[in-house]
Amino acid sequence: MIMDSYASGGIGAGTVVALGILYRVYLAVNHHRVRSNCCGKEVVVSVDVEETTPPTVLKIKSPEKKDESVSHGKMDT
């Protein structure tokens, strides 16, 4: 069965709307503590999403050069 343009457009639009709602929830909850008191039980949840991008300045150390004047046996003069 071939999906027509209206059906595929509806699925795409529904996906965009769902992602938009999830993004709004993420913005509202990120770095906040959520408390729920239901049926006499209290639930406290803390949501903290951190960025995973690496720092802009990389700290890479190059290995130290060894002294090349070390004797390696009888061939050295």
23 lies in a domain? Answer: yes
How far apart, in whole angstroms, are the C-alpha atoms of residue 61 and residue 56?
16
Q: Residue 36 is part of which domain span? A: 5-47
Whether 57 maps to a domain, the answer reads no
**For the chain, percent helix, then strand, then coil, each to nearest 5?**
30, 20, 50
Which residue is listed with tokens 């050295």? Answer: 76
Residue 15 lies in a domain: yes
Bridge partners of 36, per DSSP, are 43
Per-residue pLDDT of 8-45, as tens digits, reads 888 899 999 999 999 998 888 777 787 888 888 888 88
At 77, list the tokens: 């003069």
User: Closest Cα to residue 45, out of 29, 27, 21?
Assistant: 29
Strand locations in the chain (E): 32-38, 41-47
Residue 3 scores a pLDDT above 70: no
| Number of domain units in the chain | 1
Mean pLDDT score of the chain, rounded to an integer?
Answer: 78
